[in-house]
Structure 1
Amino acid sequence: MGKYTLFMLNPWKEDDKGPFYCPDCGVVEGFFAYSPQIRQKIEIVLVDYPRPRKLVVESLGAENQGCPVLVLDDAAPGFEGTKKSFSTGKTFIDDARLICDYLGAVFDGVKPHP
């Protein structure tokens, strides 16, 4: 099984508009609440809101800085909805719901109600 890196935005951001969070990252956090054992099986990297997001750019290129994003390696099983970075050639999933579906399938975690 391949290495998985999940880039997530820091869970809490405060500025002159008040405190806020990333709704898509919240969906993935909710998945981990139901399948906490999966959190230990992947690398989770928290990044700050402002762009450029250096670590994400190094992995996927400047055109793919959105979060959350799950980066797969070549040994990871395929899945409908994956994308490939033109800059680095790495495969990734940048949709929160698909990230949850993928992790649930690969690690036998909770799956959404049909």
Structure 2
Amino acid sequence: MQDVDQLFLLKLGFKDPAYPGKTFYCWHCALMEGVLSSFPELAGRLEVQRISWPRPRQELVDLLGEAHQSLPVLVLAEGGFIDDKDAILAALTERHGFPHPHP
């Protein structure tokens, strides 16, 4: 177990061999990046790791097992994880004091 929540995001600007010549971003991860950059003092309460797109994503395999490599994912300090973007945003509010997303 770690002592802080860890938020894993895809590095922005990755390539997918299935789509030659194109560069991509994960829009769920980009959403998280926007929230983090908007509230840097709160983002400092998390450990944020930006990892590469190709699988296997060894960092996640080591923590969560091979079946759980989707991003974004919030790994909770006390164990467990959240891998739904809306649930991650709710956890950032509840656990770390981020403002609520407007409905």
Q: TM tier, shorter chain?
A: 0.7 to 0.9
How far did 1:14 drift?
3.5
Which SS does the other structure have where 1:64 is aligned?
coil
Moved more, 26-35 or 93-102: 26-35
1:107 has 2:88 as partner: no
How far did 1:29 drift?
1.3
Which SS does the other structure have where 2:54 is aligned?
coil
TM-score (norm 1): 0.77
Structure 1 equivalent of residue 45 of structure 2: 41
Report the identity percentage.
Answer: 35
Q: Could you give the per-residue CA deviations for residues 63-102 of structure 1, whole angstroms, max 9, x where no partner exists?
A: 100011000022xxxxxxxxxxxxxxx4000011211111
Where does structure 2 lack aligned partners over 5 or more consecutive residues? Answer: none
TM-score (norm 2): 0.84
Between the aligned partners of 1:41 and 1:70, the Cα distance in structure 2 is 13
Would you say how many aligned residue pairs link Structure 1 and Structure 2? 98
Matches within 5 A, 1:13-92: 13-14=14-15, 16-74=20-78, 90-92=79-81
How far did 1:111 drift?
0.5
Between the aligned partners of 1:44 and 1:35, the Cα distance in structure 2 is 13
Between the aligned partners of 2:14 and 2:65, the Cα distance in structure 1 is 24
> Do 1:34 and 1:110's aligned partners in 2 also have CA atoms closer than 8 Å?
no
Where does structure 1 lack aligned partners over 5 or more consecutive residues? Answer: 75-89
Letter paired with 1:4: D
Letter paired with 2:87: L
RMSD: 1.6
Structure 1 equivalent of residue 7 of structure 2: 6
